[in-house]
Amino acid sequence: MIAAYLVSDKLSLTFSILVTVIYSTFLVGTASALLTTVDSAFYIGSQYREIFPETKIVPVPGHLEYVLIATLLTSWVLSTLFFLQQRGVLKWK
């Protein structure tokens, strides 16, 4: 991805679109895996609390999914905008 950013002005439009689609697909997979992991942590934590109610465990914050999604979405938008700017599609003044 870094190499694509560095040479983005020399890439064909087709290849640029392909790189963006691959990167977007990768981020969707990453987001899915992170959300599944957080859901599993909530489930395991609640099961553990039911079986061992006297044991103190560190809770997983309830808003963690939103933080993960917002972080991934922000990074995707910024990197896509940067890629478009490097390609010359966007002009910053």
Domain that holds residue 83: 2-6+21-87
Q: To the nearest 5 percent, what fractions of the chain are helix, strand and coil?
A: 75, 0, 25
12 domain-assigned: no
Average pLDDT, the chain: 80
14 domain-assigned: no
64 domain-assigned: yes
Give the span between the Cα atoms of 82 and 11, in whole angstroms: 15
Q: Give residue-wise pLDDT tens across range 51-78.
A: 988 887 777 677 877 888 888 889 888 8
Predicted TM-score (pTM) of this structure: 0.63
Split into its structural domains, the chain has a count of: 1
Give the span between the Cα atoms of 6 and 22, in whole angstroms: 17
